Amino acid sequence: MTAVAAKTPVKLEELAGSASHDQAIASGVMWQGALRWLSQALSWTATIVIARRLSPEDYGIAASATVLVGLLSLINESGLGRAVVMRRDRDPAVVQQAHGAAIAVGVISAILMLLSAIPIARFYNEPRVAPVIALLSVALLFSGANAVPLAVLQQQLQYRRLAAIDFGKATAQASTVLLCSLLGLGYWSLALGLLAGHIVAVLFTRRYSSIPVRRPTSLVLGPTVLYARHLMVSAVAWYLYSNADFAIVGRVLGLSALGYYQFAWNIAQLPGEKLANVLQAVVGPFFGSIGDDRNALRHYFLVLSELLVAIMLPVLCGFALVSPIAVPLIFGDKWIVAVPVLQVLVLASALSSMALLSQHVLGATGEAIVATRLNLTALVVMPIAFVFAARSYGSLAVATVWLLAQPALIGLPLLRMKQAIGLTLPTYVRSLKAPLVSATVMSICVALLDQVLSSLVPILRLGILSGVGAAVYVAVFLGFFGARVRAIVALWKSR
């Protein structure tokens, strides 16, 4: 949707979608947003405490163990569960057999992870990794058992219940990590927190969605399995190249360097993670429910993309600018080494926020093969680039690979949107005019002001820069694009 200047009238009819869809997406964003931001406060508290108590090596040990559990959990959750949502399967026999198959996949995944514990520990030359992997293999049992019940709730657009499950999981994980770190359990704190989150998620899900388990048969489940296999290939390829940097940094530069890199990655993702997760949790089943209505898909893609970028971009740009002050002040001086890596990863995250929703649209329109091809290509190219960067220049160069790769990673799916929903790239970029201009002006003002305030104590300097940055962004957004804001607010109220 094209951004307009303040003096240009905006017709509400141009922004309007169907009332039922407006209500569904508004409800989803409201419930997901409210509960995820509550859990975000606890997550930040836990992160600050454990960053001060744990060493970079502790982070490295936990990171080396969680890469595999993340991959196998993704296979559990993004295969049959997502296939049920995207295919809009409502036949009880299909759903029940998919549930049985997902549980079986979870059991097999747990066994495979348990068997891999010693080989992975040898890969990192760190025996302490093996028992952590063995413990985390239990999480895969819960991941498999939860895949299809969660998918059914998504299919039914039960956003309130899904938000409650996410909130319970995030709260349990953060609370467990915080408690265990205070008890001096070191890297075990991170592993136990992850396991606690999976357990609580299953308990919450069973309260809202209880599905009988049936033995899978090829006659009933065959088409869903074929579709799930396609989705799984894309998801696994994405996960492998997205996490190849952790494995390479740990292997080439050591677990201490991996700890700094993991810390930088975690902090870089935090400012925008909750909002991105809110919208991604909502839009997948929502776009699937719209089906083949290209006009509606284009409308909601533009509205939600603008909302996402308008909130994430200023936060990420501002965080990149103030991180040299904020990181040592909040997390301790020992993490200042990670600041340059963190800044590069934050900028990469800011760019990637511009296309987070495009793959959901492609999946809903039968164009998921685009994402699969892109992910498989990146799986070949990105690890090679990571190895070269790590061996030649260190972890900062590895982070820079992410920044340089963003134009291709976000651009190719967006180019495909013309065929999928009739949206051209220039139209999409124009729709983001308001947040792009506002964030640019804000960044320039904060950078210049930082030079003037360099002699102030860190906490005062950070407070002034944050306040001025927020004020400038809001002022520019409302001053030059106020008509657009008022039109969208009026449309929202009219529902």
Give Cβ neighbours of residue 119 (< 8 Å, ≥ 6 apart): none
pLDDT at 429 over 60: yes
pLDDT at 210 over 70: yes
pLDDT at 227 over 70: no
Helix and strand numbers (H, E) in the chain are 18, 0
Determine the pLDDT at residue 476.
92
Here the tokens at position 246 are 């952790």
Residue 17 is classified by DSSP as -
Determine the pLDDT at residue 13.
34
Give Cβ neighbours of residue 349 (< 8 Å, ≥ 6 apart): 268, 269, 272, 316
Task: Please give the helix or strand (H or E) that residue 8 lies within, else none.
Answer: none
Q: What is the spatial distance between Cα 190 and Cα 194, in angstroms, rounded to a whole number? A: 6
Whether residue 323 contacts residue 342, with contact meaning beta carbons closer than 8 Å, is answered with yes
Whether residue 360 contacts residue 366, with contact meaning beta carbons closer than 8 Å, is answered with no
Among residues of the chain, what percentage have pLDDT more than 70?
75
Q: What are φ and ψ of residue 202, in 5° steps?
A: -65, -45
| pLDDT tens digits, one per residue of 323-348 | 999 999 888 888 899 999 999 998 88
Determine the pLDDT at residue 299.
80
Determine the pLDDT at residue 225.
63
Q: What is the spatial distance between Cα 476 and Cα 482, in angstroms, rounded to a whole number? A: 9
Q: What is the spatial distance between Cα 51 and Cα 46, in angstroms, rounded to a whole number? A: 8
Determine the pLDDT at residue 211.
76
52 vs 13: which has the higher pLDDT: 52
pLDDT, mean over the chain: 78
- Highest mean pLDDT out of 20-24, 117-121, 145-149: 117-121
22 vs 377: which has the higher pLDDT: 377
pLDDT at 219 over 70: no
Give Cβ neighbours of residue 170 (< 8 Å, ≥ 6 apart): 36, 39, 40, 42, 43, 197
| pLDDT tens digits, one per residue of 392-408 | 999 999 999 999 998 88
Mean pLDDT (whole number) for 371-378 = 84
Assign 432 to helix, strand or coil. Answer: coil
Q: What is the spatial distance between Cα 260 and Cα 46, in angstroms, rounded to a whole number? A: 17
Residue that is written with structure tokens 């059991």 in the block: 107
Residue 11 confidence class, pLDDT cut points 50, 70, 90: very low
Determine the pLDDT at residue 310.
84
Which amino acid would we find at residue 147? A
Mean pLDDT (whole number) for 228-244 = 78
Residue 466 confidence class, pLDDT cut points 50, 70, 90: very high
User: Is the full-model pTM beyond 0.75?
Assistant: no
Residue 462 confidence class, pLDDT cut points 50, 70, 90: very high
Residue 100 confidence class, pLDDT cut points 50, 70, 90: confident
Q: What are φ and ψ of residue 185, in 5° steps?
A: -85, 0
Q: What is the spatial distance between Cα 81 and Cα 228, in angstroms, rounded to a whole number? A: 8
